[in-house]
Amino acid sequence: MQSFIQKHQKDVMGVLSGWDRVFIHGTQRALANVAGMMSYLSYVGVLLKDFGVFVEETSERIKQASEEAAQRLNRPVIFLKTCHVSKEELAQKIALQDGISEGLICILRCVEPGISYRIYSNRQQKKLTLKREPRQCLHYYHYWMDPDFGLMHARLQTWFPFDIQVCFNGRSWLARQMDKKSLGYEKRENCFAWLENVPATQKLMDRLLKLNWPRFLGGIASQIIPLQKQILQGYRTDYYWSIYESEWATDIMFRSMRALDQIYPSLIRGAISAFSTRNVMRFLGKKPQGPYRTGEVISSYLRRPEGIRVKHSINRNSVKLYNKQGSVLRVETTINDPYEFKAFRPKENDPEGDYDWRYLRKGIADIHRRAVCRRRCPVGLVRSCVWHCSVDRSRLSPQSGRQTRCPHRDPYPPLRIPRSCRPHLGRDVSRHRDTKSGRGQTARSGTTPAAVPRISDTGLGRDPRSCTAHWDR
């Protein structure tokens, strides 16, 4: 990353790295399993035969409390017939029409899938049983203007166990912090095209990691579901907050669109052609050595109005490279499955125990380690792309006139077989794993095994790397 900035220091204004869009999920662990729910029903003295009436009355109390808060502030409560409507755009439209700069904007009601409970009758055991399963539940979306984060929303499931999902944008938080510090900037959508003081802005962005997240999220929960303590009647009511989805964006800001357009095609070619499966695994926390059977490595690209977007992903984690608003080169890292990474920490049930490298948790307790893992992905991606687009004549091989191999490339290139020889291949080279996509390529003959000649008859030899033609794509 530093070599790239030094090479283009005349055109690069600076680099800004930090949170973009984050979804945090709140769960009451004591009610998120059948045993805990049965314990709660026993605590409040509710039998399973009265479960349906009890949960309906409780849900109505939750709904009335949310709607009464909106009525006191004279804010609308709107029911959406479908969940495919853009709720954020609707909330922004209402805020613009009513001139809302702080406080509640609206409440949107919508029926969406959720996890709740249902009572079943067991005829063999002759008793009622409680099961946790997907249900169609009514959800309340609370949209408001926060003095620090700007536009935020929280989704409340009105059925047990009353899960909450909070969404905020780190770039919006940063813009409001710069307003307080009187720092100049130019914002386009959710990125900054120009900053008056880049180092000071990066220090402000890093302060978001030091936020007291339990207190901040607990305050949101008390506003969204004010009757929580009354409903649970002293039962364990703490929410466990985990990062459900998150985006970490590293923006390289150029002084002009022309400067980025000159090098962007070379960067894209490097991101598409110079990467192998092992590169992607290294960026996203997996060891490139040994077998990998827990997922699929996928590389793809998409044409956008600003240019081509390249994306490398493993399972639910990905790293993307694209042109943002013409003059910003963005590397966006998304970690939705943190168990692929490691954190140096004690066991969760033994905080005073020995420290060791254990899997990265979804909880906000590992939010700092998650940020460290995200910072490393853009550095490796840009470094490999820079190598591809900055190779000079000194890196060429004198024998073949070809470029020497990138130090991060896979040592085994894809299989290349002449078209005329494909029908005569035997079983020794009939199957090959493509290092670019991680998927198996098959070149099977249409003849019977007895009619297939030996590989020596084809003139290829047994080493697949001796072939000279590309596969048909």
Which tens digit of pLDDT belongs to each residue from 402-421? 333 444 444 444 444 455 54
Assess whether pLDDT exceeds 80 at residue 187.
Answer: yes
pLDDT recorded at residue 87: 95
Supply the pTM of this predicted model. Answer: 0.78
Which tens digit of pLDDT belongs to each residue from 267-317? 887 777 766 667 677 667 666 655 555 667 888 888 877 778 888 888 888
- Split at pLDDT 50, 70, 90, the class of 337 is confident
Task: Please state, in angstroms and rounded to a whole number, the distance separating the CA atoms of residues 468 and 414.
Answer: 10
Which tens digit of pLDDT belongs to each residue from 349-362? 888 899 999 989 99
Residue 428 belongs to what domain range?
419-466
Q: What is the mean pLDDT of residues 49-56?
A: 95
88 CB-side CA count, 13 A = 9
On whether residue 424 sits in a domain, the answer given is yes
Residue 227, Cβ density class (10 Å: 0-12 exposed, 13-18 middle, ≥19 buried): middle
Averaged pLDDT score across all residues of the chain: 80
On whether residue 449 sits in a domain, the answer given is yes
Which tens digit of pLDDT belongs to each residue from 142-178? 999 999 999 999 999 999 999 999 999 999 999 999 9
pLDDT recorded at residue 432: 37
pLDDT recorded at residue 411: 41
Q: What is the CA radius of gyration of the chain?
A: 28
Task: Determine how β-strand 297-304 pairs with β-strand 307-314.
Answer: antiparallel
On whether residue 47 sits in a domain, the answer given is no
On whether residue 427 sits in a domain, the answer given is yes
On whether residue 438 sits in a domain, the answer given is yes
Question: Dihedral through CA 429, CA 433, CA 435, CA 438, nearest 10?
Answer: 170
On whether residue 20 sits in a domain, the answer given is no
On whether residue 190 sits in a domain, the answer given is no
Q: What is the mean pLDDT of residues 65-86?
A: 93
Task: Please state, in angstroms and rounded to a whole number, the distance separating the CA atoms of residues 367 and 371.
Answer: 6
Residue 112: phi, psi to the nearest 5? -140, 165
Q: What is the mean pLDDT of residues 217-224?
A: 94
On whether residue 455 sits in a domain, the answer given is yes
Assess whether pLDDT exceeds 50 at residue 445.
Answer: no
Specify the number of domains making up the chain.
1
